[in-house]
Amino acid sequence: MEIKTHHVKDLKAAEIITDEVIFKTADEALDITGNLYYQGYDKIIIHVQNLSPEFFDLQNGMAGEILQKFSNFRIQLAVVGDFSEYTRKSVNDFLHESNKGRQVNFLSSVAEVLEKFSR
């Protein structure tokens, strides 16, 4: 796993670069979030392929558990990728509502994320 640092105004964003699924459970998300928080990162960028596919099965509660960890640390999370394979209305509504706020965003590119973080 590689951490690429992006500086956005006076904030530090960590882009996690790996081919592995790193958020399989809320505990894994907590470990990574906590480590990055204590390294001084304010924002975290992950790629959609780094999330377990179960994350997008909203009935199991995994998304809520994982996103609560970011909320507890007050760290913004951006998930980057192509979300077109998620066609269920509930998932699309979840993505749309998340993107209205600032805590968690689902965007198509790192450039788009950095633009959102800079506002």
Separation between Cα atoms, residue 82 and residue 3, nearest integer Å: 21
Where does 2-117 sit in CATH, by number? Answer: 3.30.750
Where are the chain's structural domains?
2-117
Could you tell me which residues come within 8 angstroms of residue 71 by beta carbon, excluding any fewer than 6 positions away?
103
Beta bridge partner(s), residue 104? 77
What pLDDT is recorded for position 94? Answer: 96
Q: What is the pLDDT of residues 19-31, one digit of tens each?
A: 999 988 889 999 9
> Which residue stretches of the chain have pLDDT < 70?
none
- The DSSP H or E segment spanning 91 is helix 89-100
What pLDDT is recorded for position 72? Answer: 86
DSSP 55: G
Question: What pTM does this model have?
Answer: 0.93
What pLDDT is recorded for position 71? Answer: 87
Is residue 69 within 8 A of residue 75, CB to CB? The reply is no
